[in-house]
Structure 1
Amino acid sequence: MDRRARCHVICLRGEASVKLSRRKACTALSPAGVTHEWRGHIRTLVVAALSTVPPSSAAPAVVPPPAPAQLRWEPCGSQGAEGAALEVPLDWSRPDGETITVAVTRLRAADPAQRIGTLFFNPGGPGNAARPWVRDRAIELFPAALRDRFDIVGVDPRGTGDSRPLIACDKPTAELNGGRYPATRAEYDRLIAYNRSFAEECRRATGPLIDHVDTVSSARDFDAVRQALGEQRVSWLGLSYGTVLTATYAELFPERVRAAVLDGPLDRSIGSRALASDDAAAAEDAFGLFADWCESEPGCALYGKDVRAEYGSLLDRAPLQALGHPEGVSADQIGFGTYAKLIFRSAWSSLAEDLAAASTDASAFAAAGARCPAYRVIACHDMPTGDVGYAEFSARLAEVRRLAPVFGGYVEGWDIQAGCLGWPIESANPWGPIRVTGTPPLLVVAGTHDPATPLHWGEGVASQIDGSELLVWDGVGHTAFLNHPPTVDRAVDYLITGRV
């Protein structure tokens, strides 16, 4: 098999995984609920710049590979990208032990004479692979100014995409018929039993990797990639959960950061209860804006109707009939399917059409609500629910419903809290603030009406990064890079010049 043929096999794995995830309704969400279906709703993406040099004295004593590894690049995709794989330690505290591989994809700078360096990109998740974005969509997603000046590099985080081995589990990550919203002690016990069964099945299918897919381990993988690329410093663009990865890298390796954009930040200091309640309040706000727009816009499929009442009626009447789905569509699927499009302002017309059709055919929502195994396992490492008894868990659910009386609390923050309840695998990276010092100024970007990562999360993240600047954009949607071109232009200028 020649070099091009070998790479073609690698690329096809990524395409197959996307098809599989769609077939299994694996929506690969960002911390706020971002799905791959946003492709049709995205204008452009950008990322932030991070750099590298020897490990910070504040970083734990973990040794990277002793010498820069050689990346064997193969042509990949139709847009000029190239792919490779890099061996890294399974357990970074044992660098000479068992290894795994992470998939790396690069689109070289179009203007080598003006090249600034490497730009790492992470699209969020947790669990989203970067390879399809860089390999297949770079020209559409990344502004020409970035493609000219940077080698854009995507790394599929350990256990995801084309990295090997994969986090694997055949059992659905959640029961779609109200299982995440227990109304009785028996239902609460059933949820815990389900989560434990899911985790145990994933351990059997995944093996020892399952204990080492936290974000700290992934950040160290990225630094191994930096070293293999021969870069002293790198640049980053992190979206949604990608902001956690970006900030973790900057905390561990501050002297290796040139610049970084953290767009749609998740604040890891807030804990699991606020994760759910803040997310619910943000989604309720955005749904209210959607309803107001729809009721006043003649082009909306629900124009002239009480959108809030229509949505509530669908939830109350679930399960709804759906062509090709004899089991029907549950309230969970309607709610999470609505959330998946609510977070992109450009998807609101499509969302209204789906809701208008749902009374007779709710098949547009049939694929919503499930999660990829990698999403659940990584989230429970980084955002554990902890030891929450029935009374406290019931109080948290009541709080979510109070904050989202119309939308209903069908948000990713609650899904993570419910899905990690009783999780038997010890968290490798539990809740706590990220403290970043010693970097150049980093740019934190947050929106006034982000349905997934509210503005005050951005304020919290900015307060944990010494010398950072907070750029606030006024509008609706999850991340500026997927919703607000003027802010994208400002972030691109920052990435190129390094000036906030």
Structure 2
Amino acid sequence: MPTRLRLRAAALTATAVLLSTALASCGDDGTKDEDLTRQELDWEACPAPSDAQGGGAPPSPLPDGGEWQCATMKAPLDWDDPKGDTIDLALIRARAGDTSRRIGSLIFNFGGPGGSGITSLPSFAEDYETLRTRYDLVSFDPRGVGRSAPVICENDQQLDAYFQQDATPDDDAERTELLDNTREFNEACEQNSKKMLPHVRTTDAARDLDLMRQVLGDGKLHYFGISYGTELGGVYAHLFPKRVGRAVFDAVVDPTQNAEQGSLGQAKGFQRALDNFAQDCVSKAEECPIGTSVQDVKNRIARLLEDLDSRPIPGVFPRELTQTAATSGIAQALYSQDFWEYLTQGLQQAYAGDGSILLLLSDSMNGREENGEYSNLAAANTAINCADDKPRYDTAFVERKLPEFRAASALFGDYLAWGMISCTDWAVPGAADHPDVSAPGSAPILVVGNTGDPATPYEGARKMVDALGEGVGVELTYQGQGHGAYDSENKCVRGAVNGYLLDGKVPRAGTVCT
């Protein structure tokens, strides 16, 4: 069941494989614990990913044959008690190619929240080879994620049932079942991860970033945040504006929205992406295999989902494709235009009674591997969102909002509206209605918005620029499709981002790339 679908690299990488806040004080005071700032990292060959990271083989060598290096950094469990218990945070790096012109470390967060940076960075290594000429490329598993004191909730068998459930109830019995399942999931999180749940807020991760900056030996934080990573970067800039070096935010979360507004924005964003997908299919020279017009494509999808509500079809044995799994599979395919062909094939199969492709796409969204094991993506996503977001919504609230969500998206409205109950009865109170990213005095931050982005709609880029404050955010627009802009390989976007990160050249505000 969706919380807020700010997934990016972790989910997209899995798809390719499957288918081949308040702190007590707020100031620019850095880290107080001198012992932790002086720790030395023991870099060594990276092990195979853990189950919580998604499993699989160790990262392949870099494009030039170099090896990835991994290390563990200690950080306070509770940043209000920095000399108390510590946790281990997992890091990965690729050393800069031109050591004579090395700028420092460029730290990546690929989003989620809940995505493993340890597995994501190697998967996208080729995209960042130009940046590696002058930076050590560094990423990490944020606290609660992967190898970094992971939040654990339900087991694999329970998660299979959880993600197959009816997440868009139509009557009292289905609503009761959804609430019961949500409560059981949340209780499992508390039972298995009680110690971590109060300490996975984005403000905690931002403090970890500043400790990481110091341990890596950088006077400023050079940062590349994608999707939820833009929210983390914005919170860091708010807490430590004088420590911001060269920073890029891509696929930008709207920092002014609460959880309800964010979910409604995503309903509009995914509907826009679906419209673009349908238009692309029917506009090609060859006949569109899933409809004769844009409306026909959408009508056939709607009928499929309606039929699946009462009659699931075979998926990946022994599991069936349910309405919920099909909806999340369609959403997953809309994250990247590269996956539109898979969505077309998946819909063709489903219309013929075979739900395997759509179910594999749904598995990717939820962090399920081919062997039936889940990463802790869903658990961490829920834990971080619920620790961050103050509102707690009940079924009566959702039912009042359903007309507005359905008007935003006939296909995704119910799905995202009911996702708002994910934090009901959560063990830890949420920190705030929305993050504070105001960062007066920060160096310029390049904010890149994609007009066709389904998960972090384009409008959020302008909101981020305004919230960062005058003279900080520099907006760049990409008129494209998919979640994010840099990985689209658009030469204009790449040139602007690389020019800023490598040479300090700030693009003209309002630059548009097509």
- Counting only pairs closer than 5 Å after superposition, residues 32-181 of structure 1 correspond to structure 2 as 36-38=11-13, 58-59=27-28, 63-66=32-35, 67-76=37-46, 77=59, 78-79=61-62, 80-134=67-121, 136-137=122-123, 139-142=125-128, 144-170=129-155, 171-172=158-159, 175-176=162-163, 179-181=166-168
Corresponding position: 1:302 with 2:318 = no
Q: 1:196/1:366 Cα in 2 relative to 1: closer, same or farther (>3 Å)?
A: same
Contact 1:241 1:265 in 2 (8 A): yes
Question: Structure 2: how far apart are the matches of 1:267 and 1:174?
Answer: 32
| 1:64 CA drift (Å) | 3.8
Aligned partner of 1:419 in structure 2 is: 422
Q: How many residues align?
A: 457
Quick check: 1:445 aligned with 2:445? no
Gap change, CA 1:27 and 1:86, over 3 Å in 2: farther
Code of the residue aligned with 1:102 in structure 2: it is L
After TM superposition, give the deviation of residue 41 of structure 1 in Å: 7.0
Q: Are the structure 2 counterparts of residues 235 and 414 from structure 1 closer, same or farther at C-alpha, using a change threshold of 3 Å?
A: farther
Show CA shifts across 1:256-291 (max 9, x none): 111111111112321122111111111111111111
Deviations 1:304-330 (A, max 9, x none): 463112211211110432254355211
Q: Which amino acid aligns with 1:337?
A: G
- Secondary structure in 2 aligned to 1:221? helix
Alpha-carbon distance in structure 1 between the residues aligned to 2:4 and 2:412: 19
Separation of aligned partners in 2, 1:154 and 1:324: 33
1:404 paired with 2:406, answer no
Letter in 2 for 1:447: N
Match of 2:326 among 317, 334, 341: 334
Q: Are 1:100 and 1:165, in contact at CA under 8 Å, matched by a contact in 2?
A: no
1:389 to 1:39, Cα distance in 2 relative to 1, 3 A: closer
Q: Which residues of structure 1 form unaligned runs of 5+?
A: 1-25, 43-55
> Equivalent pairs: percent with the same residue?
29
Corresponding residue SS for 1:366: helix
Aligned pair in 2 of structure 1 residues 482, 396: CA closer, same or farther (>3 Å)?
farther
For the pair 1:471 / 2:476, whether they are aligned, the reply is yes
Greater Cα shift, 71-80 or 437-446: 71-80
TM-score between both structures, scaled by the size of structure 2? 0.82
Length-normalised TM-score, structure 1: 0.84
The one of 306, 312, 323 equivalent to 1:316 is 306
Secondary structure of residue in 1 paired with 2:6:
coil
Question: Structure 2: which amino acid aligns with 1:424?
Answer: A
Tell me how large the CA RMSD over aligned residues is. Answer: 2.8
Structure 1 residues 151 and 283: CA distance shift in structure 2, 3 A: same
Cα deviation 1:215-248 (Å, max 9, x = unaligned): 1111111211111112111211100011011111
**1:459 CA displacement:** 1.0
Q: 1:291 aligns with which of 267, 270, 278?
A: 278
Deviation at 1:207, TM superposition (A): 3.3
Is 1:379–1:416's contact at 8 Å kept on the other side of the alignment?
Answer: no
Question: In 2, Cα distance between the equivalents of 1:68 and 1:159?
Answer: 23
Partner of 2:52: none
Contact kept? 2:270, 2:454, Cα under 8 Å:
yes
Would the aligned equivalents of 2:168 and 2:324 in 1 still touch at CA under 8 Å? Answer: no
CA distance in 1, matches of 2:419, 2:498: 32
Q: Partners in 2 of 1:208 and 1:30 — Cα distance? A: 25
Distance 1:173 1:270 in 2: 31
CA distance in 1, matches of 2:394, 2:4: 27
Q: Distance in 2 between matches of 1:287 and 1:38?
A: 21
2:357 pairs with 358, 361, 364, which one? 364
Amino acid aligned to 1:252: L
Q: One-letter code of the match for 1:491? A: V
In structure 2, the CA distance between the partners of 1:395 and 1:27, relative to structure 1 (3 Å rule), is closer
CA distance in 1: counterparts of 2:105 and 2:163, whole angstroms: 41
Change beyond 3 A, Cα 1:316–1:34: farther
SS state at 1:194 partner: helix
Contact 2:30 2:240 in 1 (8 A): no
Mapped contact 2:250–2:449 kept (Cα < 8 A): yes
What SS is found at the alignment partner of 1:86?
strand
> In the TM superposition, what is the alpha-carbon distance from 1:178 to its structure 2 partner?
5.8
Task: Name the aligned partner's letter for residue 488 of structure 1.
Answer: R
Per-residue deviation, 1:432 = 4.0
Alignment partners' CA distance in 2, 1:295 and 1:377: 41
Q: For 1:203, which of 170, 174, 190 is the aligned residue? A: 190
Distance 1:488 1:102, change over 3 A: same
Matched residues in 1 for 2:399 and 2:448: separation?
A: 34
Distance 1:60 1:169 in 2: 39
Deviation at 1:139, TM superposition (A): 3.5
For residues 488 and 322 of structure 1, do their structure 2 counterparts lie closer, same or farther at Cα, with a shift above 3 Å needed?
Answer: farther
Cα distance change of structure 1 residues 31 and 40 upon mapping to structure 2, 3 Å threshold: closer
SS at match of 2:451: strand
TM-aligned CA deviation for residue 442 of structure 1: 0.6
Seen in structure 2, the aligned counterparts of structure 1 residues 169 and 213 have a Cα distance that, compared at 3 Å, is farther
Contact 1:88 1:101 in 2 (8 A): yes
Deviation at 1:474, TM superposition (A): 0.8
